[in-house]
Structure 1
């Protein structure tokens, strides 16, 4: 099932009298239970495309349809609600709160995403997700005692704790060594399939493309190749 439709999206930035077109008419469909990887040189527009799809910045032209609804026409508050309830985010660095334990990181996310779970239900859900990502044995640990790979696993758990429809991953393995990068990508792939999530990932590491269902190569604001 197609969850996202990116329709003729253009993005132009203006600096004084100079206009720079970053995206030049992008068309892309994203389906449930699949990973789409955006790859390309720095400045190709892949991160801009991800942030537009995630509702973090507006289009200049074109539209983004999510679950059949046009996000381009939504108010800022409506887009915020979609992000909070339907989207999860993983970045290059885990950005964990240093004074919260692993368990508390996920509890905080449940509060922020405004889930209606009771306290005991929150605890049960946190334990379930931590077991799913292989971090249940570290739930009382603080970020300072975690390895890079463990931090990213917690970041992924935090991103999916509220059961999002879409996972946006911006260079999720860039700060990890080869072994841990593969472990994290295996986890993202397994979660995408198990939870039927739509994952849109930006990466510069071509080894990570082996874990994607679709590879979209970008250059100079255009899609050069869309490979299944």
Structure 2
């Protein structure tokens, strides 16, 4: 089932008196429970399309449809609510809050997403998610004591604790070695399939491509 559609999206940046069109009419549909990988050289536009799809910046023209609703017609507050409740984010850096424990990172995400659960249900959900990412034994640890791979597993747990419909992953393994990269991608694929999350991922690493269901190559602001 199609859950997300990008229709004729363009993006132009102005640098002084020069306009640079970095996206030139992108069309892309994302299917439920599918991992789509965007690949291409630096400057091809793949990270730009991901941030526009995620509502982190606006398109110059075109439509972004989520569950058939046009996000380009929504207010910033409406988009913020969708980002908080329906989207999950994993980036190259884990961006964990340094003064919060692993458990508190997840509690904060439940608060931000306005997930309505009882205290007991929240604790049970955190327990389950941390078991999935093999971090339950570190739930009271602070980020400074975690390895790079552990931080990224916590970041993934935080991204999916509120059961988002879409996971946006921008170079999620770029800061990890080969083994930890494969561990993280195995985890992302497992969670995508278990929870039927739609994942859009940007990557430079060809070794991560076998974990994707579909690979989209971009060049000069176009899909090849």
Give TM class, smaller chain: over 0.9
Aligned to 2:95: 95
Which stretch of structure 1 is more off in the superposition, 55-64 or 116-125? 116-125
Q: Give the Cα separation in 1 of the matches to 2:98 and 2:8.
A: 41
Q: Give the Cα separation in 2 of the matches to 1:111 and 1:53.
A: 23
Deviations 1:144-179 (A, max 9, x none): 111111110000000001110000000000000000
Q: Give the Cα separation in 1 of the matches to 2:169 and 2:179.
A: 18
Runs of 4+ in 1 over 3 A off after TM superposition: none
Deviation of the 1:16 alpha carbon: 2.2
Q: Give the Cα separation in 1 of the matches to 2:143 and 2:15.
A: 40
Deviations 1:62-108 (A, max 9, x none): 10100010001111111111101000000001111111111111011
Deviation of the 1:5 alpha carbon: 0.6
Aligned to 1:168: 168
Question: What TM-score comes out, normalization by structure 1 length?
Answer: 0.97
Question: What TM-score comes out, normalization by structure 2 length?
Answer: 0.99
Q: Give the Cα separation in 2 of the matches to 1:37 and 1:151.
A: 22
**Secondary structure, counterpart of 2:85 in structure 1:** helix
Aligned to 1:4: 4
Aligned to 2:178: 178
Deviation of the 1:134 alpha carbon: 1.1
Aligned to 2:57: 57
Q: How many residue pairs are counted as aligned between the two chains? A: 224
RMSD, aligned α-carbons: 0.7
Aligned to 2:135: 135
Q: Give the Cα separation in 1 of the matches to 2:86 and 2:220.
A: 30
Aligned to 1:106: 106
Q: Give the Cα separation in 2 of the matches to 1:54 and 1:38.
A: 14
Q: Which runs of 5+ in 2 are unaligned?
A: none
Q: Give the Cα separation in 1 of the matches to 2:134 and 2:195.
A: 16
**Secondary structure, counterpart of 2:169 in structure 1:** strand
Q: Give the Cα separation in 2 of the matches to 1:115 and 1:188.
A: 22
**Secondary structure, counterpart of 1:107 in structure 2:** helix
Which stretch of structure 1 is more off in the superposition, 170-179 or 126-135? 126-135
Aligned to 1:198: 198
Deviations 1:175-219 (A, max 9, x none): 000000000000000000000000000000011011000100001
Aligned to 1:126: 126
Which stretch of structure 1 is more off in the superposition, 121-130 or 44-53? 121-130
Q: Which runs of 5+ in 1 are unaligned?
A: none
